[in-house]
Amino acid sequence: MYRFSHLKDVFIVKDQDEKGTYTLAEAKALCSTLSEGWRVPTLNELETVYAACMEEGIQKLTGDLKFKTKNYLTDTVDEYDGWPRSFDFNDGVSYLSGDKSKHALRLVRSESEPSPEVNHQDFIKKTILVLQKYVPNLNTEKFTQFMNHCLLGDPEMDDIFGKQEPIKLNNIRYVTLEDDNMCSFPEDFYVANFHEDNDTVIIWEDDYYACGYKPDELDDEDEGLRDGYLGFIDLVQEKYLRINGYGHEIEYGTENPEVPHPDWTSWC
């Protein structure tokens, strides 16, 4: 068995795959019959294993760990479709699966107790500390109100959009912002979304889907949507980045005449 860590979580990977292939429901039913806390891995955990193996060469996957270069099931469910994601050890990419899709299964278990739930006010303070490195005269009171609204929802809107579910902040890495709008639209237009560590292009797409766009609209060259940049506050690397739909990344404040950076004037 091998030990890995993601953020503050430490987990053990079982020596071998389970026999056969599984849907997520079948995999969870299997885990309920096992002892020692074995469970279906999250997408972040399989990405962590893959990254560590790439550092030591592909042989680590197919040799010591006996991972095969194929799709493995994860316990991470897409927040919009409600379907599980799988992770392909052939190309290091995650894919959306249906409820009845079956995949290879490698179980993991936590080595330590889960971290206590992060208080949302502490999460906001961390976000502000990162952002202040780039926007030193940020109006922190105004930004705190904005983040509270995005994290906790607005009870008056529950009848229209449904009740806001609490967000588990322990593993959140990115806070994404329509940061161009921060300087030009009314305050109630702003929105922030919260994402665990994942492919930044997928995050960019998810934010556009949440705004009502469809996949074919994102790739319409006449619309040019993929050229548009979103603000990414990276809480792990403590950076404020702007990333477009191709994954092109620019750190806020760097010189780039083709991509104007938001000045946050209305927030300062």
CATH of the domain at 95: 3.10.100.10
The Cα–Cα gap between 27 and 102 comes to 10
pLDDT of residue 176: 93
- Residues 134 and 67 grouped into a single domain: no
- Residues 63 and 40 grouped into a single domain: yes
pLDDT of residue 92: 86
The Cα–Cα gap between 11 and 25 comes to 22
Final residue belonging to a domain, choices 86, 110, 134 = 110
Final residue belonging to a domain, choices 79, 110, 141 = 110
- Residues 229 and 188 grouped into a single domain: yes
- Residues 99 and 131 grouped into a single domain: no
**Strand ranges (E), the chain:** 2-6, 9-13, 71-77, 84-88, 93-96, 108-110, 172-177, 192-196, 229-234, 239-244, 249-251
CB distance 235 to 126 below 8 Å = yes
The Cα–Cα gap between 212 and 227 comes to 18
Structure tokens at 91: 């190309």
Q: Which domain holds residue 97?
A: 2-110
The Cα-based distances of 64 to 35, 71, 74 in angstroms read: 24, 18, 21
- Residues 28 and 150 grouped into a single domain: no
- Residues 126 and 221 grouped into a single domain: yes
Concatenate the DSSP letters of all residues of 109-130 into one string: EESSPPPPPPPHHHHHHHHHHH
pLDDT of residue 154: 64
List pLDDT tens digits, range 209-252. Answer: 877 788 888 888 777 788 888 999 999 889 999 999 999 999 98
Domain annotation covers residue 115: no
pTM of the model: 0.58
Final residue belonging to a domain, choices 66, 82, 110 = 110
Structure tokens at 50: 């893959």
- Residues 128 and 67 grouped into a single domain: no
The Cα–Cα gap between 32 and 52 comes to 29
**In the chain, which residues have pLDDT < 50?**
160-161
CB distance 52 to 40 below 8 Å = no
Main-chain dihedrals φ then ψ at residue 100, nearest 5 degrees: -100, 0
pLDDT of residue 112: 65
- Residues 105 and 173 grouped into a single domain: no
- Domains in the chain: how many in total? 2
pLDDT of residue 43: 92
- Residues 52 and 91 grouped into a single domain: yes
The Cα–Cα gap between 45 and 7 comes to 10
- Residues 179 and 247 grouped into a single domain: yes
pLDDT of residue 25: 94
